[in-house]
Structure 1
């Protein structure tokens, strides 16, 4: 899966450098981040984006067996479709990591979320939206509904399908209409 991601996030992910990751939060809050192409590797990843929702649900899977390794709820602004490119989201740096069998969970990156609140990127309105979304995500987990209902991770794309690629001008601001 190819996407565009902030360059600081890409570098921090590849190097494990926490200082770069923290700089990325400041860049994000200031609106000065830059994007680069990024291709997901290491696991299979099924992603479920719910229209109008302030989170998406992802199932990380073993590439050989398709077995779930973990579930991940990513809190973000509702996605927007961008014709010919895909979807745009804005990660709000709060995540819920769920065990493969859905029996347990932990909150991740709460400190980063708090930092974005201090930097002003997440104002009171956004915070209320995320707080409500946290409740909806936990309800889906508790009730095993939506993308957390039984059976969803068994789906896999046809192996003959080509991997989607972004068009050459995907990072052109003119395409962000």
Structure 2
């Protein structure tokens, strides 16, 4: 594979991970660069980091009623399908996340840490292969996730109902669905083989205490 290294990032730099749908920004959030090898990019974020997300999602975070949350989610999918969403500002909370993006893969791998920096779970987020930009990376979430125990002993599929809704609305077309099916198989193969995709060294990782919060820069397209 030929690596596009036109935009390589130094450790400690701030980059922006954006979801792009229909040539519009769907989400945008700053991340701290841990390592950039060209073919793999390792990033981190933690509570307090401020980004952009659809207002329907932001509103749902404060809803106590499951029915109201479901209605907000359904409206969010309808807005995505029609290209009519609005963005608002929100802050990441509760967990620290270490993330790895591998060139050409239809998923990224994350390790979530809770209170006391206790590893909570691995999180495989299915998404389009990332594209480097001057700001960071652009991708697009594919609505499906896989949760894995820290010791890789068990896994659970997440958001399959949202993925099915995305299929019904045409957000995930047949060609993209075929790519997701292949990515599912590959992720499970890597999990079964205990590949370096899930490095045990990550379980002891912690962000430097003197790191400032990465901040979202101004950019066009919002």
TM over 0.5, shorter chain: yes
Q: What are the equivalent positions in structure 2 for 1:1-177 lying under 5 Å apart?
A: 1-15=49-63, 17-64=69-116, 66-84=117-135, 86-167=136-217, 169-170=218-219, 172-173=220-221
Partners of 1:38 and 1:147 lie apart in 2 by 30
C-alpha displacement of 1:22: 1.2
| Cα distance change, pair 87–4 in 1 and its aligned pair in 2 (3 A) | farther
CA distances 1:12-35 after superposition (whole Å, capped 9, x unpaired)? 233251110111111112222222
List structure 1 runs of 4+ shifted beyond 4 angstroms: none
CA distances 1:95-152 after superposition (whole Å, capped 9, x unpaired)? 1111222111111111111111111111111101111111111112111213313222
User: How many residues are aligned here?
Assistant: 170
| Cα distance change, pair 45–89 in 1 and its aligned pair in 2 (3 A) | same
C-alpha displacement of 1:39: 2.2
Q: Which has the higher helix share?
A: 1
RMSD: 1.8
Q: TM-score, normalised by structure 1?
A: 0.87
| Cα distance change, pair 15–163 in 1 and its aligned pair in 2 (3 A) | same
Unpaired segments ≥5 residues, structure 1 = none
Unpaired segments ≥5 residues, structure 2 = 1-48
Partners of 1:50 and 1:15 lie apart in 2 by 35
